[in-house]
Amino acid sequence: MPKSKKSSNPINLNDPQYYLNRELSWLQFNKRVLNEAFDSRTPLLERLKFLAIFSSNLDEFFMVRIAALQQQVEAKVSQLTPDGRTPQQQLDDIRLSLIPQVTQQHQHFEQEIRPLLGRHGIHIVDYINLTSKQRKYLDNYFEDQIFPVLTPLAVDPSHPFPYISNLSLNLAVVVKNPDTEEEFFARVKVPSVLPRFLPLPSELAFQEDGQAANWIGVPLEQAIAHNLDSLFPGMNIQEYHPFRITRDADLALEEDEADDLLLAIEQELRKRRIGGSPVRIEIQSQTPATIRTRLLEDLDLAEEDVYEVDGLLGLRDLMSFMSLPLPELKDPPRQSVVPPRLQRLREPSLNPEDGLEVEEGKDFFSIIREKDLLVHHPYQSFSASVVRFITHAAHDPNVLAIKMTLYRTSGDSPIVNALIAAAENGKQVSVLVELKARFDEENNIYWARRLERVGVHVVYGLVGLKTHCKTVLVVRREKDRMRRYVHIGTGNYNPKTARLYTDLGLFTCREELGADITDLFNFLTGYSRQKSYREVLVAPVNMRDRFLELICREITNVQNGFSGRIVAKMNSLVDPQIIATLYEASRAGVQIDLIIRGICCLRPGVKDISENIRVISIIGRFLEHSRIYYFHNNAQEEIYIGSADWMRRNLDRRVEVITPIKDADIAKDLQEILGILLADNRQTWDLQPDGSYIQRRPGEDCPETSSQITLMNMALRPTGIATNLLDAAKSSAYTDS
């Protein structure tokens, strides 16, 4: 690595004080998600959505990250993290950071959101506050619809404590025999097959002033709790208290230990449905000590595994309110546009006999031959670009082969249906399905079996590596030659998440890139030991080394008297070697802007270490998921997009693909996108040296600028104004709040 300008002042860049903890950084990310629920500028039902996302994120965090740390503690793992913490220290610090967040979430829901909902005619009513007519309706509904589903489970010497399933909401019930005065403990599971919030019929949905309400309903657990007499006839109900369990849900599987990977993962999924060891219990703060102690003993949990809340448990279920037909309480509707160059595509199944003038449209392949094409989702339509590309390939008689990686896709995937059609049309179809995509394993197994049944060559990946890259290769016969068409993306081939995640995709038929992706698929499906590629960066082969070279080149340019500039957008920055090299670049004088939605273990703004590094996080309507890497390269800019973050897992334990952008116009478009993101003062948070984040606010004379709204408007008006990348970070006037 080149020496920095400050090499005379030696500093150990591996010192733990220069690194933020991964888990605590993730909690900061989820706190930013929660803030969207607190922000009065966010539409009301969207605020409910963010409360639900915060809870759902936490569930996964406990199922995976907390479970792993607890296992490390039990195994007496002593290895320190780059920031110098033991597993137990991390657990302690996580709890210390998390308890105030959970408290704030529930207080905000109960004290602010519920009253606001009421003012808009949406009432989540406690059972005890129902009118007599409403109670009668709900009690009848209980007898008809809920009671048959319930199974009360006694706990006594002849009935051991029942298994409590993962993420289940339950009632701990104490009943008394009126004849013997003896008390018994029982558990009633709140069934997840029923709606969490039970709506009242319109004729009973009225407000206190007699006006009709938009929605009135009761939490399911309260309807059950107030009808416990039906479950325990002849017994006196003494008390009941809701509780919720989270269990370890990560798959414990090594590919080289499995003779049949698909079968092995199916077996692991069955274990997950049951769940691993409990890692958290949520209870209401008024739960008596006797019930609390009983639950902890029977579940083998410690006091530090308890999370108390005031109010309803399991706020992830608030997501159901997004289905209410109240557009005025949601984000304004948006329109995904068809990219201009794709607006006159003809469908592959149509021909002149069908009444279509063929010369009026072009096929997808001729458009790519003209020029590389960049698409930006969700601002530009995924269905009209990526899905259409694969569908065209499936039906084009000149297409001979389609090869594709599938990490995550939707349950009703039009892409998989197109691949099935391609196989049925006699094309050679090869699909690498990543069975270990966390929490999508079952869905991927289903599609893998369907694909295999129609003759698709299905591969399940490489031993020890997850296949996370997003690539499609189409081989087409054109006159007397074969031409390869490629799509490389930053996001999954999932039409549903493509409406919610910001992602990029490149379509090209450049020969060098086609040859690289051909080599990549040979590496994935065969015994190829490919070690070099013409253009693409492939993890774990050459990506880490190339990124380090690109950073070091900026250092060299600065040392030679030129300017140095790096702008990188990703989901997470964790890798210590990359971070240390960025510190070296900062110390040399390279100007660095990092746009990192989630985890960032780099400390920006530290004297003599990272004074030239700025880190922002954008949290908004869409989940920022695209990865873009810009290097100034002495005014010969290089820019890359692809599937990899700067994390150890992406660089060393996954198959990832990053592609250089060769088309000058596309490179300018990407720089414009980066500039717009850097200038955001509505949904941007600035990372501080201590690991906290401060949200930007527009200054007095500066208008509010949302990058996502700007990009939506630009998609509708493709000739929008350009933003200068290098000036954007300097000119974004804002005040901290």
- pTM for this predicted structure: 0.91
662, with CB counted inside 10 A (0-12, 13-18, 19+), is middle
Q: What is the predicted pLDDT for the residue at 409?
A: 63
Determine contact, residues 596/674, Cβ cutoff 8 Å.
no
DSSP assignment string, 402-459: EEEEES---TT-HHHHHHHHHHHTT-EEEEEE-TTSTT-HHHHHHHHHHHHHTT-EEE
338 class by beta-carbon count within 10 Å (0-12 exposed, 13-18 middle, 19+ buried): middle
Q: Residue-wise over 70-98: b if at least 16 C-beta within 10 A, else e?
A: bbbeeeeeeeebbbebbbeebbeebeebb
Q: What is the pLDDT of residue 328?
A: 96
Q: How far apart are CA 219 and CA 217, in angstroms?
A: 7
Spatial CB neighbours of 607, under 8 Å, sequence gap ≥ 6: none
- Residue 263, Cβ density class (10 Å: 0-12 exposed, 13-18 middle, ≥19 buried): exposed
Give 578's DSSP letter: H
Measured torsion, CA atoms of residues 394, 400, 403, 408, in degrees rounded to the nearest 10:
10
Cβ neighbours around 573 below 10 Å, total: 22
Cis peptide before 352 (omega within 30 of 0): no
Q: Residues with Cβ < 8 Å from 716, sequence gap 6 or more?
A: 335, 337
**How many Å apart are CA 374 and CA 326, to the nearest integer?**
35
- Fill in the DSSP letter of residue 66: I
Amino acid of residue 644: A
How many beta carbons lie within 10 A of that of residue 60, not counting itself?
14
357, with CB counted inside 10 A (0-12, 13-18, 19+), is exposed
Q: Nearest to residue 338, comparing CAs of 379, 390, 368?
A: 379
Query: What DSSP string runs through 13-29?
Result: TT-GGGB--HHHHHHHH
Orientation angle between helical segments 664-678 and 707-716, nearest 10 degrees: 140
In the predicted model, what is the mean pLDDT of the chain?
Answer: 88
Q: Which uninterrupted H or E stretch holds 292?
A: helix 289-299
User: Contact 195/220 with Cβ under 8 angstroms?
Assistant: yes
Q: What are the pLDDT digits (tens) for 345-361? A: 776 553 433 333 334 45
Q: How far apart are CA 90 and CA 66, in angstroms?
A: 9
Q: In order of start, what are the domains of the chain with their CATH numbers?
A: 44-329 (3.30.1840.10), 340-349+358-535 (3.30.870.10), 538-736 (3.30.870.10)
Cα distance between the two ends of the chain: 40
Write the burial class of residue 234 (CB in 10 Å: 0-12 exposed, 13-18 middle, 19+ buried). Answer: exposed
- Residue 517 parent element (H or E): helix 511-525
Query: How would you write 664-679 as a 3-class SS string?
Result: HHHHHHHHHHHHHHHC
Q: Are 520 and 539 in contact (CB under 8 A)?
A: no
Q: Please answer whether residues 179 and 155 qualify as being in contact, where contact means their C-beta atoms are separated by less than 8 angstroms.
A: no
Measure the CA–CA gap between 653 and 255, rounded to whole angstroms. 13
Contact 1, 43 (CB under 8 A): no
Q: What is the pLDDT of residue 408?
A: 65
Report the pLDDT value the prediction gives residue 734, as an integer from 0 to 100.
32
Which of the residues in the chain have pLDDT under 70? 1-9, 157-159, 209-210, 250-275, 347-361, 408-412, 435-444, 461, 463, 527-528, 718-737
What H or E segment, with its residue span, contains residue 91? helix 87-108
Percent of the chain past pLDDT 70, that is, above it, reads: 87
pLDDT of residue 258: 37
Contact present, 445 and 262 (Cβ < 8 Å): yes
Contacts of 170 (CB under 8 A, 6+ apart): 164, 187, 188, 189, 190, 242, 243, 244, 245
Burial of 192 (0-12, 13-18, 19+ CB in 10 A): middle
DSSP summary character for residue 194: S
pLDDT at position 479 is 87
Predicted pLDDT of residue 737: 32
- Residues annotated as catalytic (active site), given as ranges: 468
Calculate Rg over the CA atoms of the chain: 28
| Short-list 328, 230, 247, 329, CA closest to 282 | 247
**Rounded to an integer, what distance in angstroms lies between the CA atom of residue 676 and that of residue 662?**
21
E-strand stretches of 49-168: 122-124, 153-155
